[in-house]
Structures are given as structure tokens and as C-alpha cells.
Amino acid sequence: MSYQVYQRAQTSNESPSQIEYRLFAQVTNALIDVKDKPIRDSETIAALDWNRRMWSVYSSDCGAKGNQLPDQLRAGIISLAIWVSKHTSLVMRGKESIDNLININKTVMEGLADQAKLQADAAKTEAQPLNRGRPINASL
């Protein structure tokens, strides 16, 4: 990764949910692009590996000390990551469809989109001045 890309990421106005959504979208699009290609195609293997590595990172993060997600959500993400890893192996052996991986990612993306909207709404609310129920005097 170039230094400029790293700098842009550091100064991004995106919320964590928006960043995670964008990553899921990129990985899911890669899976969609290869879904009709042969399993042994290098692009297919790369997309499946990218998806598995992404889920592995999320699993590791959820297992890390100090992660502030609720325990039940962390456990669910770890369980999904284990399932993704096992299912990916089956896909690579030609025993399962890549469609299930795409569907799981899309479902998570829906949740991330909802979370990003809540975060954006909360940020807007925090940025609004308090008027404590009184009309705001525009002449001040």
C-alpha cells in the first residue's frame, strides 16, 4: 500500500461502519465477478482467499482483548468467520456454491449500512445546537 493511500485512510471522514461496508462491497464484488468462472481459475482463488482473509481478520479482532462490541455480536461474527472458512474450502473443492458466501456478505453489508446510518444520524444530532425547547433567536 502506498503512503498516500495510508494518509487518505487516516484523514477519511468515513465511520468505521462505512469503511467496513466499503471493504465488504469490494470483496463481495470480487466474488460476484468470479462466480461463473472455473474454481481453479486464479481470479476465483484470489477472490475466495481475499474473502476468507477478511473474515479471519474480523474474527481475530472480535477475539481481541478490548474489543467493545457486545459479546453476543462478537461470538456471532466469530461463528460466521469459521463457517466462511469451512464453506470456502468446500467451494474450492467444487462441493458447494460461491453464492452462499456472496449472500452472507450481502446480509452483513445490510447491517453495516443500517449501523452507518445510525452513526451518521447521531453525529448530526450531536452537531446541532441545544435550544432546550426554546425558539432559537436568529438575531443573536
Query: Percent of the chain beyond pLDDT 70?
Result: 81
How do residues 27-66 score in pLDDT, each as one tens digit? 999 999 999 999 999 999 999 999 999 999 999 999 999 9
Question: Does residue 109 contact residue 25 with C-beta atoms inside 8 Å?
Answer: yes
What local confidence, expressed as pLDDT, does residue 114 receive? Answer: 85
Residue written as cell 481481541?
A: 64
Question: What band does 16 get if pLDDT is binned at 50, 70 and 90?
Answer: confident
- Please determine, for residue 78, whether its predicted confidence score (pLDDT) is greater than 80: yes
pTM (two decimals): 0.77
Of 12-16, 82-86, 123-127, least confident by mean pLDDT is: 123-127
What is the full DSSP assignment across 84-120? HHHHHHHHHTTSS-THHHHHHHHHHHHHHHHHHHHHH
